[in-house]
A = this chain, B = another copy of it.
Amino acid sequence: MDVIDRKILHELQANAKISMKELAQKVYLSSPSTIERVRRLEENGIIKGYKTIVDAEKLNRNITAFVLFETTKCKDLAAFCSVHPDVMECYRVAGKISYIAKVCTESVHTLEEFIDKAMEFGTPSTNIVLSSYTNMELKLSQDTSSG
């Protein structure tokens, strides 16, 4: 993990489908060495995968919400959330709230259905997203630790 690897991760986070040739130019290296660095980053698990980001609203998923749960049934709630198609992410957290689900659903009506079912596993408090800023990029510092 040197400064070049961090630059590579920066570029790949912004655009996973950049060609290795163009990536090599951006980091001032030849294509083969760049490819080898990317391969190592994949092998080390530092690169976990390449995902396509889709526009939820354009696919009729108009409501995004964070549903916060006070519950003692985290296992059951996790099982419920992991198979529910509207749940994008969920988190076991430390605090008064013990579970957070990010849901992306068609309407307030389908959100209501989700909440009704989820109430079996805890007490939800729902926060509908009005606007968001998600760069989804891990900004890497210039220290030389880890890797």
Contacts and interface: CB of A to CB of B under 8 A. Distances in A.
Interface of A: 1, 9, 12-17, 44-56, 58-61, 64-66, 68, 78, 81-82, 85-86, 88-97, 100, 104, 125-141, 143, 145-147
Contacts of A104: 138
Contacts of A92: 129-132
A50 B17 contact: yes
Number of copies: 2
10 contacts: A14-B51, A16-B16, A47-B52, A48-B55, A49-B52, A89-B136, A91-B129, A92-B132, A94-B127, A95-B128
A69 B16 CA distance: 33
Contacts of A45: 55, 58
A127 B81 contact: no
A59 B1 CA distance: 9
Given A91-B132, A128-B95, A15 B138 contact: no
B133 A78 contact: yes
